[in-house]
Chains A and B, each alone.
Chain A
Amino acid sequence: MSDHTAAPATTAHTHAGRYLVVWAALTALTALTWGLSTIHIPGFGGVAVALAIATVKGTLVALFFMHLWDQPGPNRLVLITSLVFVALLVTLPLLDNATRFPLANPPDAETAPQRIRDAILNDAPPPAHP
């Protein structure tokens, strides 16, 4: 990995074979995730599997098509840092919606209790709290 840092450019190396293998892998993984989606894995499992496959595909693209495999630290660090902040922005608001006072979520959201949803949709005060 680090043996190229002295000559960070992709000069004079031929990567054609590598590209072909990566392309084949990406195609296979696309077919796999498509196939798996037809089985309908229940609950969170389906999401996890699909996202895991997408992550593998993305990693292949970033490492080989985008040459992060051969390139010096800063470029890798840039991508990794940005991914940390992607995770941050996706998880914390989601955690908020998952843990907040249920009535503070949109009234027809599936997380709100049914009777409260009805009450708010009908523009009436909700029933007394238990």
Chain B
Amino acid sequence: MSQFPDSSPPVFAERNYLNTPATGLKSWLTTLDHKRIGVMFLITTLIFFAVGGLFAMLIRIELLTPGPTIMDAMSYNRMFTLHGVVMIFLFMIPAIPSGFGNFLLPIMVGAKDVAFPRLNLLSFYVYLLGALIALGGMIYGGADTGWTFYTPYSTTTTTKVVPILLGAFILGFSSILTGLNFIVTVHTLRAPGITWNKLPLFVWSIYGTSVIQILATPVLGMTLLLVAIEHAFGWGIFDPARGGDPVLFQHFFWFYSHPAVYIMILPAMAVISEVVCAFSRKNIFGYKAVAYSSLGIAFVGFFTWGHHLFTSGQSAFNAGVFGVLSMFVGIFTAIKVFNWVATMYKGSISFKTPFVYFIGFLFFLFFGGMTGVALATVSLDIHWQDTYFVVAHFHFIMVGSTIMAFLAALHYWWPKITGRMYNERWGLVGATLVVSGFVFTFLPQFLLGNEGMPRRYFNYPERFQALNVASTAGASVLGIGFLVILVYILVSLKYGPVAGPNPWGSRGYEWLTPSPPPLENFDELPAFERGPHEYHDLPGVEAVAPGAGSSHA
């Protein structure tokens, strides 16, 4: 599978993290190795992705016709709540940082492990505990509040909202622990030679993500706890009947949940910055701009939460403050988009599956981002708020961008994680299905929103039906695409050709070690003389043979 005729035949590293120190289930469940923890995160988050995706399909089928199609209103309300909770708290937030981040970040800084391996394992089990409590609540009855838990609906509903609140509260700790671990790792465990300006861009973005996780998650935890207390004991901090202000809840909630959008999108940008360099075989255009804009997003992202409250009774003064600040967060994304495109200039572009996802990502991020800025343009938001336009916008960002990046990451690092290649032809088929299915699912929803269909509607007037049918049709293509990916990726685990340490000819640090990587990441620590995104200094790119990790010269 190696692309270079002059390189030695690819080798599956014999002593790797998959078989050392042991292969049993127990050795996995008690492991402190960041790579194994990352893989366990990946597997669990993917299972929850399947659950959330199933809910999504049921929602789309229900919306095929106005009125009840396959379920009643109560089931529908529970369904979209669970879809939101599962996708956001159980999949989107942990998937790339805790999954790929855990696997790659220590390798990319040349460390043997994260700073606190035991906290890392704890993070996984906390995640599992939170997920089980939330799932228990869903099976026990589910909640019908929407993932936003707006008071006073969430404090007065008779559904089982408390276990789901507690589940999300506990999941927050997992997020905090992982973020804390990454920040300390980047600060203290960088290998000699890896200066701040030679950090892979993946690390910069994950670092920005971690900052948000640390600073925002506690506020959400406290807020959810307050809602649970209000629901259970009636201590009304937000209860309008006791002089509370329900809008204050929205302030607290979005103080976390707007930055949480960046918890979801920054890791996607992390992946894309790596992919675009590797497949253009070109140095990144404007390293510092791309790196620092990650921190810019992390910081400025905190100043914009009020644009979710334009119709909520918030003051016009605050709307102005939040509106103008929201305009600034868009430019950091713009910088990245321009620099990614410019990176392709004079490159040597190879259209492998990850790169196809990059194209999809760029398209969705551009339109998702521009509609996001348009939504923060105050008067337009008044029309769009809580309609399908918002639904389409954030799915463009979360599904269109984050999941495309997740799939790009899955394909790009699959040979590193498993040591084997997936089938490239089926990879392209899957990518085409997913990208086109996605366009057909969510493009009609923009128009539905323009037309005025509010979100979370079980019934809708018949004039909205045509676009809903189109959306459901797109969703089924999307679903088939995911099934195709699932099949060939599982097949490749056993039958995939051996990948070798660097099948893409990438310069990223993680490709300097054999695939799959050994227990402590590098057999012998490279000197990291070259930056991770530099492709200009050598004619061609050599594939590094396993066991020769230090042959970088």
Q: Which chain A residues have a beta carbon within 8 Å of chain B's beta carbons?
A: 74, 81-82, 85, 88-89, 92-93, 95-101, 104-106, 108-109
Contacts and interface: CB of A to CB of B under 8 A. Distances in A.
Nearest to A108: B243
A74 B187 contact: yes
B244 interface: yes
A87 B191 CA distance: 36
Contacts of B313: 100-101, 104
Given A74-B187, A85-B215, A93 B248 contact: yes
Residue among B215, B240, B244, B255 facing the most chain A CB atoms (10 A cut-off): B215
Interface string B229-257: 00000000000100111011001100100
Interface stretch (B97-105, B140-148, B314-322): B314-322
Interface of chain A, main secondary structure = helix
Interface string B290-328: 000000000000110010000001111110011000000
Given A89-B219, A92-B306, A97 B243 contact: no
A95 B219 contact: no
Given A96-B247, A100-B316, A104-B247, 12 more contacts: A81-B211, A85-B215, A89-B219, A89-B252, A93-B248, A96-B315, A96-B317, A100-B314, A100-B315, A100-B318, A106-B243, A108-B243
B295 to A, nearest CB: 11
Nearest to A97: B245
Nearest to B259: A85
Contacts of B316: 99-100
B319 to A, nearest CB: 9
A109 B317 CA distance: 20
A100 B306 CA distance: 13
Please name the 9 residue pairs, one residue from A and one from B, whose CB atoms are nearest each other, closest first: A100-B315, A99-B315, A99-B317, A104-B313, A93-B251, A96-B318, A106-B243, A96-B315, A85-B215
Given A88-B303, A89-B255, A105-B245, A96 B215 contact: no
Contact of B318 (A82, A89, A95): A95
Contacts, number: 54
A74 B240 CA distance: 42
Contact of A109 (B187, B243, B314, B318): B243
Contacts of A106: 240, 243-245
Contacts of A82: 215
B251 A96 contact: yes
A89 B255 CA distance: 8
Nearest to A75: B187
Contacts of B215: 81-82, 85
B174 to A, nearest CB: 20
Contacts of B240: 106
Nearest to A102: B315
A88 B325 CA distance: 13
Nearest to B255: A89
A125 B255 CA distance: 34
A78 to B, nearest CB: 8
Contacts of A109: 243
Residue among A74, A82, A85, A88 facing the most chain B CB atoms (10 A cut-off): A85
Nearest to A89: B255
B315 A101 contact: yes
A92 B243 contact: no
Contacts of A104: 247, 313
Residue among A82, A95, A109 facing the most chain B CB atoms (10 A cut-off): A95
7 contacts: A88-B303, A89-B219, A89-B252, A92-B251, A96-B247, A96-B251, A100-B315
Contacts of A96: 247, 251, 306, 314-315, 317-318
A39 B255 CA distance: 38
Nearest to A98: B315
Contacts of A95: 315, 317-318, 321
Nearest to A96: B318
A74 B215 CA distance: 15
Contacts of B244: 106
A97 B243 CA distance: 13
B196 to A, nearest CB: 12
A59 to B, nearest CB: 21
A102 B192 CA distance: 60
Contacts of B252: 89, 93
A99 B302 contact: no
A82 to B, nearest CB: 6
Contacts of A98: 315
A79 B240 CA distance: 35
Contacts of A108: 243
